[in-house]
């Protein structure tokens, strides 16, 4: 049997594999106060600008409408996650949340205006201009605030001194992340650890003897020599004196006694203490923090399409797929007629495949073979496969046989972009050979995907080739954004004619 191979990211991977949460920033308080003020000012200022542009004046009705819009905007932002989200999130994610929040605000204002006839005080040109200008000003103000904040952090304003408790692989990665990203607002003050690098391997690092810490010892000994600032007692003293403002604990989870000791002692200081769990030993897939009955928990495997992100992706799928079907309806009719006239059999081929959460779906394709395999054993197409019809070879080479899957997108069983669905028989075969194979089904399958635009098309006659596909599928889920989907769609148009692997 081929060996299983994990495509878990190396320890050097950064935020893409980390649970989503609010960043540790030294200047958090002033930012959290200024940001809502700027949002409010943007809403009111945009209304004033469109009123003056329409040669009107700001009366009591306009002022009241602006205040109501501010209140509704901040209530809506709690639903979309705009206010409580990570301000270091990617720009396109924040733009989507701003647009979603403002859309909800406009809808609520529309209902209020209809119920109270308040809208008669405003010209339609003013309302339409406000709808466009306001989110643009909110987005611009947020971008400017980020630039100011990160500039201050680079100059040392609001920076916090941080120490790392635990000189191990995770500690070194944490140090690297801190020193490579000045926007974190953290200044690395050194490592503290009560272990030495020449001790016997019988010491498991938690004050007890045993062999369950041998992996940690091996990782420590493989690290380059690092000068420790002191042991854990020295760290406690530095924190109590105010020399250290933040402590990141990177000790392994199995070192429970040492962690408890450190937390108990640091409770007698004003230092902020964070535990950085060594989750990199697991296969993290878009992990995020959540709560279970008030208890904090971190998801190890989760879909990125939740909340407003899921709504945005679904809306994009519906709009683009519907427009695409209308645009290519005549070519699809011609292809359907050609399939029917050039070989016996049905025009369309529907095959059972795994969809979201492993649920079985039926995927539409133009028939390109003389057979329609959909049983417990499905033979993959190979080069010069005798089952492929002459027209089918052209359709498969150009991926035109996949066009009917736009119907799958519209009905909701597929997305435009996502991991390509494999035949159910192939799923059952490879899930036992490749670690984390089924994790690709945490999102809807797609007509195209990151693996396909990176050359992973055609036959997967070896496990290594399938592992490469799964690697890109996992990478897509970890780093998903609407902007990434758009990039993949454009890259698909560029590469679909150039890949000899497709047959």
Phi-psi region of 301 (alpha: psi -120 to 50; beta: other; left: phi over 0): beta
Inform me whether the pLDDT recorded for 11 exceeds 50.
no
User: 154: which 2 tokens?
Assistant: 């680079």
More confident residue, 406 or 368: 406
Q: Report the DSSP pairing between strands 289-292 and 295-298.
A: antiparallel
What is the predicted pLDDT for the residue at 204? 41
Query: What are residue 192's DSSP bridge partners?
Result: 165, 230
CA-nearest of 276, 315, 281 to 300 is: 281
- Mean pLDDT confidence for 240-268: 87
Q: Kindly report, residue by residue over 52-95, the tens digit of the pLDDT.
A: 887 767 677 778 888 999 999 988 887 777 765 554 556 677 88
d(C-alpha 338, C-alpha 356), whole Å: 33
d(C-alpha 349, C-alpha 110), whole Å: 47
Query: Residue 270 to residues 164, 248, 257, 262, 263: CA-CA distances in angstroms?
Result: 16, 14, 22, 14, 12
Q: What is the torsional sign of CA 234, 236, 238, 244?
A: positive
Query: What are residue 364's DSSP bridge partners?
Result: 350
List the end-to-end C-alpha distance of the chain, in Å, as a whole number: 27
More confident residue, 284 or 191: 191
What is the predicted pLDDT for the residue at 502? 54
Q: What number of CA atoms fall less than 13 Å from residue 484's CA on the CB side?
A: 19
- Mean pLDDT confidence for 187-207: 60
**Is residue 54 helix, strand or coil?**
coil
d(C-alpha 287, C-alpha 279), whole Å: 10
Residues in the chain: 503
Query: What are the residue ranges of CATH 3.40.50.720 in the chain?
Result: 160-196+226-281
Inform me whether the pLDDT recorded for 382 exceeds 70.
no
CA-nearest of 411, 286, 432, 288 to 355 is: 411
For domain 160-196+226-281, give the fold. Rossmann fold (3.40.50)
pTM: 0.62
DSSP 440: G
């Amino acid at each position: 049997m081929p060996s299983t191979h994990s495509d878990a990211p190396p320890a050097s991977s950064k935020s893409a594999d980390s649970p989503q949460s609010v960043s540790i920033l030294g200047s958090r308080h002033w930012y959290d106060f200024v940001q809502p003020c700027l949002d409010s000012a943007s809403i009111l200022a945009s209304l004033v600008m469109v009123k003056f542009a329409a040669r009107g004046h700001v009366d009591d009705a306009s002022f009241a409408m602006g205040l109501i819009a501010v209140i509704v905007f901040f209530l809506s932002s709690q639903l979309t996650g705009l206010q409580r989200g990570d301000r270091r999130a990617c720009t396109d994610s924040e733009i989507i949340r701003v647009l979603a929040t403002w859309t909800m605000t406009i809808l609520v204002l529309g209902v209020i205006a209809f119920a109270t006839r308040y809208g008669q005080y405003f010209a339609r040109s003013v309302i339409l201009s406000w709808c466009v200008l306001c989110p643009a000003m909110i987005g611009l103000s947020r971008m400017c605030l980020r630039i100011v904040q990160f500039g201050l952090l680079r100059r040392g304003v609001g920076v916090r001194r941080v120490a790392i408790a635990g000189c191990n692989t995770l500690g070194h990665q944490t140090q690297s992340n801190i020193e490579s990203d000045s926007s974190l607002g953290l200044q690395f003050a050194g490592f503290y650890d009560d272990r030495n690098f020449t001790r016997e391997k019988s010491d498991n690092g938690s004050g007890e003897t045993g062999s369950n810490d041998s992996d940690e010892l091996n990782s420590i000994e493989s690290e380059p020599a690092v000068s420790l600032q002191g042991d854990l007692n020295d760290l406690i003293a530095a924190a109590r004196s105010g020399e250290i403002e933040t402590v990141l604990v990177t000790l392994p989870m199995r070192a429970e006694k040492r962690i408890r000791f450190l937390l108990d002692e640091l409770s007698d200081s004003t230092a902020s203490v964070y535990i950085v769990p060594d989750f990199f030993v697991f296969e993290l897939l878009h992990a995020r923090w959540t709560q279970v009955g008030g208890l904090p928990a971190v998801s190890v495997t989760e879909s990125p399409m939740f909340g407003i992100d899921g709504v945005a992706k679904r809306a994009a799928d519906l709009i683009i797929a519907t427009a695409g079907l209308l645009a290519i309806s005549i070519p699809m009719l011609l292809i359907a007629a050609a399939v029917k006239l050039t070989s016996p059999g049905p025009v369309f081929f529907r095959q059972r495949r795994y969809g979201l959460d492993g649920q079985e779906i039926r995927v539409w394709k133009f028939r390109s073979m003389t057979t329609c395999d959909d049983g417990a054993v499905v033979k993959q197409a190979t080069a010069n496969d005798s089952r492929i019809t002459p027209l089918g070879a052209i359709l498969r080479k150009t991926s035109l046989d996949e066009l009917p899957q736009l119907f799958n997108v519209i009905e909701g069983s597929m997305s435009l972009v996502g991991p390509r669905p494999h035949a159910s028989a192939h799923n059952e075969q490879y899930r036992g050979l490749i670690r984390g194979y089924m994790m690709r089904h945490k999102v809807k399958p797609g007509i195209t995907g990151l693996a396909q635009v990176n050359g992973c098309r055609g036959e997967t006659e070896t496990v290594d080739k399938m592992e490469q596909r799964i690697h890109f599928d996992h990478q897509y889920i970890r780093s998903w954004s609407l902007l990434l989907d758009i990039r993949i769609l454009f890259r698909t148009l560029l590469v679909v004619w150039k890949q000899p692997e497709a047959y």
